[in-house]
Structure 1
Amino acid sequence: MSEDTRARILRAAKELAEEQESVQGVTVSLESVSRRAGLTKQGLMYYYSSKENLMLGMVEHAAARWDGLLRDHTGAAPEALSVFERYRAYAAVATSAEVSRADYWVFSEALYHPKLGEPWHRFLSPWFAVDDVADESRSLLTAARFCADGAWMSEATGVFPAENLADVGVRAQELIDQAEAQGGYR
């Protein structure tokens, strides 16, 4: 039962973040989330004792969702894939328009609250590991990731979204192909 309640709370918080006119204007409070989830504030605080804990729960949920999208796309864990397969998956997922304003909001909150970056690092670092990649290939992979990052951020915020998101994904994939063709590994 508690997992259902936790999921309901996180869904309510995400809905509130999605409904905002602008990402900067997002107001998610314990009161607003508890009302949306059909709980008392004290009932919500049983699961998330503070706004910080609620935010950590939202970030954990969003980062796990991205990891799940990547695993679903590849059918594998990141450790079972080559660096190029991992980056191809990220570029494909990030440019598929399956983006969320709430995911962007909780992602950007890490700038102001570094503790909120930890779940993103934990879930996504395995997808971005480039330890054994040659420098030239590494910079191309980074450029491809930045291309994909920019695409999902533009789509999530609605600020200068791509006219053709699929083309952006193709260009990111071309950078990854170029990185692999250069030999890729040290």
Structure 2
Amino acid sequence: MSDAHRRPKKPQQVRRKLLAAAADLCAVEGPAALTLDAVSKAVGVSKGGLLHHFPGRDALIDALFEDLVGRFDTAIEAAIAADPVAEGRFTRAYVACSLDLGLSAEGEGWRGLTAAILGVPSLRARWHDWVAAKAERFGATDGAPRHQLARFAADGVWLADLLGSHDLDAATRAAIRVELAALAAPAPPASGTRP
């Protein structure tokens, strides 16, 4: 019996490695480089092993999208849960998570996924649906133009991080974060009214 048959199977670890390799290939070489052969070679599994987890390239890209967006969503929900002030809470969470993402290990995965989103209409539609669902859910607390402006600015920092187009030192990044969070702070009461 060969060693391959004696090795313990760890399907979740293999799946994670396959997704990480797919993200790395997209980030470094672009979505066109994402082939089943390249991913299976990068992880050291057979093409059949990869197909066990993902029946094709599209399924692999879809799983990468679900994985990264799911983790981003989880981070946002955690930030929302830790923020006691309802007005602007989603925007503050979105800003914080977006600015943190460019510096995290997941940032590389997002670099590749963003390239795929730009080139794959179905992924653009799914990202649009995610954004639309958040806009609907948080419209009452985060629908003001200043909230939208803060999220658009966070998207700009995120894109700059993904492209590597700007070198933001830690102090500048922290200052941007403070300014964007201020846009999402509750509006002061209108003059002439009592708090």
TM-score computed with the length of structure 2 as normaliser: 0.74
Q: Following TM superposition, by how much is the alpha carbon of 1:16 offset from its aligned partner in structure 2, in angstroms?
A: 2.8
Q: Greater Rg, structure 1 or structure 2?
A: 2
Q: Which residue of 1 aligns with 2:110?
A: 103
Q: Which residue of 1 aligns with 2:182?
A: 174
Q: Is the 8 A contact 1:88 1:176 kept in 2?
A: yes
The yes-or-no answer on 1:70 pairing with 2:76 is yes
**Aligned ranges 1:27-42 → 2 under 5 Å:** 27-42=33-48
Q: Partners in 2 of 1:65 and 1:161 — Cα distance?
A: 25
Q: 1:121 to 1:83 in 2, by over 3 A?
A: farther
The yes-or-no answer on 1:92 pairing with 2:101 is no
Q: CA RMSD, aligned part only?
A: 2.9
The residue matched to 1:82 in structure 2 has which SS? coil
The residue matched to 2:114 in structure 1 has which SS? helix
Q: 1:81 to 1:42 in 2, by over 3 A?
A: farther
Q: Which residue of 1 aligns with 2:5?
A: none
Q: Following TM superposition, by how much is the alpha carbon of 1:113 offset from its aligned partner in structure 2, in angstroms?
A: 1.4
Q: Following TM superposition, by how much is the alpha carbon of 1:107 offset from its aligned partner in structure 2, in angstroms?
A: 2.8
Amino acid paired to 2:121: P
Q: Which residue of 2 aligns with 1:16?
A: 25
Q: Which residue of 2 aligns with 1:2?
A: 11
Q: Is the 8 A contact 1:147 1:168 kept in 2?
A: no
**Aligned ranges 1:19-168 → 2 under 5 Å:** 20=28, 24=30, 27-75=33-81, 82=86, 84-96=88-100, 97-98=103-104, 100-117=107-124, 119-121=126-128, 125-129=132-136, 130-132=138-140, 138-163=144-169, 164-168=172-176
Cα deviations across residues 121-142 of structure 1 (Å, max 9, x unaligned)? Answer: 56555544443359xx621111
Amino acid paired to 2:183: L
Deviates more, 1:29-38 or 1:116-125: 116-125
Q: Following TM superposition, by how much is the alpha carbon of 1:144 offset from its aligned partner in structure 2, in angstroms?
A: 0.3
Q: 1:7 to 1:153 in 2, by over 3 A?
A: same
Q: Partners in 1 of 2:51 and 2:121 — Cα distance?
A: 23
Q: 1:112 to 1:26 in 2, by over 3 A?
A: closer
Amino acid paired to 1:175: L
Q: Is the 8 A contact 1:10 1:58 kept in 2?
A: yes
Percent identity between matched residues is 22
The residue matched to 2:45 in structure 1 has which SS? coil
Q: 1:168 to 1:128 in 2, by over 3 A?
A: farther
Contiguous gaps of at least 5 residues in structure 1: none
Q: 1:30 to 1:75 in 2, by over 3 A?
A: same
Count of matched residue pairs:
174
